[in-house]
Each structure stands twice: as C-alpha cells, then as structure tokens.
Amino acid sequence: MSESATRITPGNALRPEDIADRVHDGTAKPSDEVAEYALWLGDDALILAQRLGHWISRAPELEEDVALGNIALDQLGHARSFLSYAGGAWGKSEDDLAYFRDEPQFRSAHLVEQPNGDFAVTIARQFVLSHYQFELYRRLLDSADPMLAAIAAKAVKEVDYHRDHSSQWMLRLALGTDESRRRVEAAVKLIWPYLAELFEDHPLVDALPGIAVRPSELRPAFDAVTGAVLAEAQLEIPSVPSASGGGRNGRHSEHLGYLLAEMQVLARQHPGASW
Amino acid sequence: MDDTAGQANFDALMAADSRVEPRDWMPEAYRRTLVRQISQHAHSEIIGMQPEANWITRAPSLRRKAILMAKVQDEAGHGLYLYSAAETLGTPRDEMMEALIAGKARYSSIFNYPAVSWADMGAIGWLVDGAAICNQVPLCRASYGPYARAMVRICKEESFHQRQGFEILLELSRGSAVQKQMAQDAVNRWYAPSLMMFGPPDDDSPNSLQSMAWNIKRFSNDELRSRFVGMMVEQVEVLGLTLPDDQIRFNEETKKWEHGPLDWNEFKDVLAGHGPCNAQRLERRRSAHDDGAWVREAAAAYAAKQQAAVAA
Amino acid sequence: MSGWPLWEVFVRSSRGLSHVHAGSLHAPDAAMALRNARDLYTRRNEGVSIWVVPADAIAASDPDAKGSFFESPQGKDYRHATYYTQSEGVKHL
C-alpha cells in the first residue's frame, strides 16, 4: 500500500486545549455575559454529543457507526471549546462545568435533550440542530468577540457536513420504504415542537450587541434551507404546538436529569480527582 | 488455470515469500482458513466495541470522552477494513454478519469479560490492545495481500490505542488510593485473559503449523506470548502497579520470558459461550442489526428508485 | 435483501498526487459512498479528494494471463535510459 494513501497527520486547528491555555494565561477572558452565551452554545453541543455517543456500536450499519461517531466527536470538540472559554469567567475548567453543574445551571435547549428514539428521531433532531447551528456559526464568524469567532470558524465547516449528512438521510428515509416514511413522519412530529425555542430572543442577546447572534434572525434562512430539503423529501411541516422551552434559563425537560446522572456519576464519585 | 498449475504457482509464491492476491488461484483450505481468521478478527473488532462503548457516556473527563469515542469509532473502522479484506475471498459481509449474530462465528473470547470500572478502559487499552498489536504487527506481512494491507492501516491507527490505555492507568496509579486500587484491580482481572489472546499453547494449537507454512502466521502463539510478557514486565514498573503473576521470569537459557500457568479450561469455557457476557454481547449486536434493518432497506429502496428514475 | 453494494475508494492525499486505492466499503448509492468514504478513510487528514467506484464496475486483467500480459516488456532494455552507455560522461544528456 502506498504511503501516501495512509499518511496520517493531525492537521492544525484551534483545539480546546489551546483555548484552555489562553484562558489560563489570561490572554482570553470572557465577561460574565459572554461566558453565559458560550454556555448556551457549549451545552447544546455537549448534550447532543452525549446523546450521539450512545449510538456508537448500535448504528444501523457499521459505516453509520463511524459517521455518527464523527459527528459526536465534532460536537464534543465544539462543546469543549465553548466550555473552556466560558470557564475563564469563573476560574472553572471544561470539566468543572460539564461534571459539577446541576440541571438548573445548564443552558441547553430542550431539542438536544430529546432521547435518541429510533434512527429517524436521531436524524430529525440532527437535521434541525445542525441547520440551526450552521446559520448561527456562520454569523458568529463576524462576532466582535475574537474567541467566539475563532471557535465558530472551526465549527461551521464541521456542522456544514452534519447538515448534509442529516439532509441525505431525511431524503432516504422519507422516500425509501413505507415503513421508513411512516417513521420519519412520526419523528418530525416528535421533534418539531422543540424548534421554536432555538429561535427565541433573550435579554442576554440584547446585552451582547455585535457579539452574540440574535436567534430570531436565523429563522428565515433556516426555514428556506430546511424547507427545500423537506419539499424534496415530500415531507410536510407538521402543525404541532411549540413546546414552551426555557432551557436558556435553566428550565429543562425531564430527560436531562437522567442524562446528567449518567454523564456525571463517575466524576462525582471522585471529586477533585485527575483522570 | 487448472489446479496443478495453480498449486505450482501458489507454491512458488509461498517459497518466494510473495503475496497472494484475490484473483489468484489458491487452495480451498487456504481460502477457508483466511475467511475464518479474517472474519473472526473483524467480529472481534465489532464485538470489542461494546465493553468500551459502555463507558463513553460515563467517561470522567471530556478529554477522555473524546479519546474513547475516537477509539471505539476506530474499532468500527477496523472491523470494516477486515470485512472488506474477507470479502475479496468471495464471502459477502452480510453472510459473515449473519453468522456472527446467529452465534455460529467466533470472536476473541476476551470481549466476553465485563468492563466494570473506568480503570478497565486503561487495562483494555494497555493489555488487550497491547496483546492485539503484538499479534497484528507480524500480520502486516501475511501472505494474503488484502489482509496484510488492512493490517498495515490498522496498526498505524492503533498506535494510539495502547498509549491512551497506558495513560489512563498511569493517571489512576498516581491519583488517590482508591483510584490506584481501581487500576490494580483492573490489571489483575485483564492480565490472564490478555495472555490467552495469543491462543492455546503451541503443543495444543493444531492449525498453527499450517498457518505458518502458508506465511499467514509468522510466529508461534507461545513465542508472541513470551515477547508480550517481557514488554509488560517493564511497563508495569513505570505504571507503579504489579502483574498478578509471581512466576514471571526471564529464562537465561532459552532467552525467553516465562509466566505462571494459565487456566485453559476457563479459556475453552468462555470460547464455548459460557463467559460472563457472551449472551449479552451477541444480543446487543443482534438488536443493533435488527433495529437497523428498516434503515438499510430504506436507503437501498431510495437508491433503486433514483436509478429507475435516471433510466426512465 | 437490503445488502448495500460494495464500493472501491480512492484517496488523493494532497494536490499534485494521484488518487490511490485506500480500501472499500458498503453504501446504498454513490452520494452516501462518498460520505462514508470521507468518514472512514480520511478521519486523520489523509485526503483532499475522494473517488468511489462500484466494485463490480472495475474490469481487471486476468491473473492467469500474467505471462502474455506482463512479460513482453522483459528483454526490451532499449526502453530504459540505462541501456545507452556510450553517452556516459556527456553533460546534460
């Protein structure tokens, strides 16, 4: 086998460790508001990564184990970057924030907290979130906060792939067999109530002009792009009432407690330990 | 090519230590041996994902979570490389997968032991992957080209697997007394099963000689096991832990490392399905396969419809 | 029967180099084969471009015809620069 086809290089990109270093040496220090905003983004990515991590070894085909693993790793990387940065405001590490906050201190949206369900539910959830994240990160590139912009620059390319992956699967599930169509229709109905929360404006964003992205501004682009995929998939946007949300204020779904219990159990058995 | 000419050509390739490629004539027994060995190897990667995947959601730091996720994902990739290599011998992957979930195929018996603590992630990386790498490096020179090429790629990618396991144990060993005990306990439990990964002793390994004659296997089970013990003896000192075997010694006459007796009855029992997790591992693979059937069918149906639309 | 077909994957590791066979995988169609190949064969920065080809679309030479196919160039040393020795020592030739 040619060496060239198996050349392995790490590449160079902004890593969570680099951000932690810069926070540590004081060259990057977010305000409390910026840190709070970074928690929004970081917690969405973290909770989704935790959900997707469960798929590895359970996917419909081995190739999909690898694909979902890549998406989970991307999201986990984004989470670590945002949390490392956020922690700079309070002298906390990414792990302090991930493992030693309780539910009300999390800022994730209800969408990412939704259980994996079957593959259709996971794909519908991914479809919504990655299109939302893409529109968000694309605009965050222009943020007046250089660290948020830098994290977004790495994340936007990866999320672009996630939205492609989930769009491809939306088409296949919707236009595949009767069963897959029935399942994806049910999944869309299940997921759509949690969409509105993503685009709700919030006083925090008002406090961060030029830094944070106004959620409601993302909606038209999101609707246009997802609408085109749904039209091709011949899927109707379901008329379901929106769930009330509240994740940005620490009011979460029933699911988050179980998820955190599993994620945090070992770290909390050994507070202060190094791993 | 008739069988006589084919056999002569095959023998010449073996004598020259050259490589056999998929379309070459090969003895049926050689083909069968390879399909069995490569598919068992692939199954081991796939079943081997489970004990580690169980800890992805509980990994105690985000960095460790990312590393573990990447490692388990690699194992899916390695399973894929190996199934592809086996497929070049004419057995479709579906057929191998069916055999696995029907309980008709074997995989490395070590994955039928439970991973009950975080330290097991360290011990699996250090001991189990360490033993696997010892086995796999010589396979990069196996006589069947696609198998050897898959092993080259796998060995390159796996170089981080053992190191991350070693680091997990090192961190635990340097941590609190409870953490250190967790690490020692994991090493105690995984040591003997990892030595048994090299297969039965040479005098009880009927297929080994033929595999060596075919240049599939390059070193005997006992040779590789002894080499592995030597490496672990050095490394366990760096870890500040001990191996649960007070009979390890270097034999100055044979220049080989020796170890205490292994319980081969247990090995055979676990291989025969009586291990602590055999049923659980197979059931998990079976349900992933069954639960995914409608997804695979949907994608195939979509592809067929697209093709029909293009043709029309 | 939902078995996805087999695809052969070729990866270009950097600009200026050829695509080289990296391995194979299963996928329902070309679009997914490309994506699966990206996920499987370029997770460590191994590529800048990927080709996927249905495995059954590849025509291969017959290994039994090795002699008549590949031995003819043997003995035709005059195709190689090293065959021409009289010009040794002459510069820029």
List of chain B residues whose C-beta atoms are within 8 Å of the C-beta of residue C40:
77, 80
The reply to whether residue C31 touches residue A168, judged by beta carbons under 8 angstroms, is yes
- Per-residue pLDDT averaged across B165-192, rounded? 98
Whole-complex ipTM: 0.96
pLDDT in tens, A234-261: 999 999 999 999 999 999 999 999 999 9
Provide the shortest C-alpha distance from residue B267 to chain C (in Å): 34
As given in the structure block, the two tokens for residue C42 are: 């370029």
Q: What is the pLDDT of residue C69?
A: 85
In Å, how far is B103's CA from the nearest CA of chain C? 20
Looking at beta carbons, which residues of chain B come within 8 Å of A66? 73, 76-77, 80
Chain C residues within 8 A of A5 when measuring between CB atoms? 11, 13, 20-22, 46
Residue B213, C-beta contacts closer than 8 angstroms, at least 6 positions apart: B14
User: Does residue C63 register a pLDDT over 80?
Assistant: no
pLDDT on residue B32 = 96
Question: Comparing A35-39, A92-96, A219-223, B307-311, which segment has the lowest mean pLDDT?
Answer: B307-311
Give dist(CA A203, CA B146) in Å, integer: 60
The C-alpha of B59 sits at a distance from chain C's nearest C-alpha, in angstroms, of: 22
CB contact under 8 A, C35 and A11: no
Closest CB to A175: pick one of B63, B293, B302.
B302
Q: Is residue C53 part of a domain?
A: yes
Whether the pLDDT of residue C82 is over 90: the answer is no
pLDDT at residue B1, as a whole number:
65
Beta carbon pairs, B and C, within 8 Å:
48
Q: How many structural domains is chain C composed of?
A: 1
Domains assigned to chain A: 26-269 (1.20.1260.10)
Tell me which chain C residues have a C-beta less than 8 angstroms from the C-beta of B23.
60, 62-63
Question: Residue C26 pairs with which residues in a beta bridge?
Answer: C6
Interface of A with C (CB under 8 A): 2, 4-11, 61, 63, 66-67, 70, 161, 164-165, 168, 172
pLDDT digits 0-9 by tens, A192-235: 999 999 999 999 999 999 999 999 999 999 999 999 999 999 99
Q: Is residue C89 part of a domain?
A: no
Decide if B85 contacts B93 (C-beta within 8 A). Answer: no
Cβ B302–C43 below 8 Å, yes or no?
A: no
Q: How far apart are CA C91 and CA C87, in angstroms?
A: 9
- Is B153 within 8 Å of C23 when comparing Cβ atoms? yes
B21 interface with C at CB cutoff 8 Å = yes
User: B87 Cβ partners below 8 Å, 6+ apart?
Assistant: B93, C6, C24
Amino acid making up residue B284: R
**Is B19:B143 a contact under the CB 8 Å cutoff?**
yes
Residues of C in contact with A4 (CB under 8 A): 13-14, 17, 20
B152 at interface of C, judged by CB pairs closer than 8 A: no
Residues of A in contact with C1 (CB under 8 A): none
Find where tokens 């259709």 sit.
A120
If you average pLDDT over every residue of chain C, what do you get?
A: 90
> For residue C72, what are the domain limits?
6-83
Q: What are phi and psi of A102, to 5 degrees?
A: -95, 170
Q: What is the pLDDT of residues B25-76, one digit of tens each?
A: 999 999 999 999 999 999 999 999 999 999 999 999 999 999 999 999 999 9
Report helix, strand or coil for B256. strand
Mean pLDDT estimate for chain A: 95
Say if C92 falls within a structural domain: no
Q: Which residues in B lie closer than 8 A to residue A56 (C-beta atoms)?
A: 49, 53, 56, 69, 72-73, 76
The shortest CB-CB distance from A275 to any of B156, B171, B291 is to B171
Nearest to A8 among C25, C38, C46 (CB): C46
Any residues with CB less than 8 A from the CB of C64 and at least 6 apart, and which? B1, B25
- Which subunits sit against A, judged by 3+ Cβ pairs under 8 A? B, C
Kindly list the residues from chain A whose CB atom is less than 8 angstroms away from the CB atom of residue B287: 58
With contacts defined as CB-CB under 8 Å, which chain A residues touch C43?
66, 70
Neighbours of chain C (3+ CB pairs under 8 A): A, B
Residue C63 maps to which CATH number?
Answer: 3.10.20.520
- Cβ within 8 Å, pair C31-A10: no
**pLDDT at residue A4, rounded to an integer:** 45
Whether residue C29 and residue B296 make contact (CB cut-off 8 A), yes or no, is no
Question: pLDDT at position A100, please?
Answer: 98
The Cα angle at residue B92 between residues B90 and B97, in degrees rounded to 5: 135
pLDDT on residue A6: 56
Residue A115 pLDDT more than 60?
Answer: yes
Q: Write the CB contacts of B121 (distance below 8 Å, at least 6 apart in sequence).
A: B52, B55, B59, B64, B68, B115, B165, B168
Does C56 lie at the interface with A, CB-CB under 8 angstroms?
Answer: no
Between the CA of residue A268 and those of A83, A91, A272, B173, what are the distances in Å? 18, 19, 9, 19
Q: How confident is the model at residue B118 (pLDDT cuts 50, 70, 90)?
A: very high
CA of B302: how far to CAs of A153, A197, B1, C2, C29, in Å? Answer: 34, 33, 41, 11, 9
User: Residue C20 is inside which H or E element, if any?
Assistant: strand C19-26
Q: Which helix (H) or strand (E) holds B63?
A: helix B62-87
Among B25, B150, B306, beta carbon nearest to C29: B306
Nearest to C30 by CA among B303, A176, A68: B303
CB contact under 8 Å between C43 and A70, yes or no, is: yes
Q: What is the DSSP letter of C2?
A: -
Contact B292 A16 (CB under 8 A): no
Chain C within 8 Å of B94 (Cβ-Cβ)?
yes
Across A136-161, average pLDDT: 97
Average per-residue pLDDT in chain B?
A: 95
Q: Is the confidence at residue A79, as pLDDT, over 60?
A: yes
The closest CB to that of B1, out of C32, C40, C64, belongs to C64
Q: Name every chain A residue with its beta carbon within 8 A of the beta carbon of B301.
A: 176-177, 180
Q: Are the CB atoms for A205 and A220 separated by under 8 Å?
A: no
B72, closest residue in chain A (CA to CA): A56
B157 to C44: CB separation less than 8 angstroms, yes or no: yes
Which among B69, B70, B299 has the least Cβ separation from residue A176?
Answer: B299
C90 in any annotated domain: no
Domain for residue C91, yes or no? no
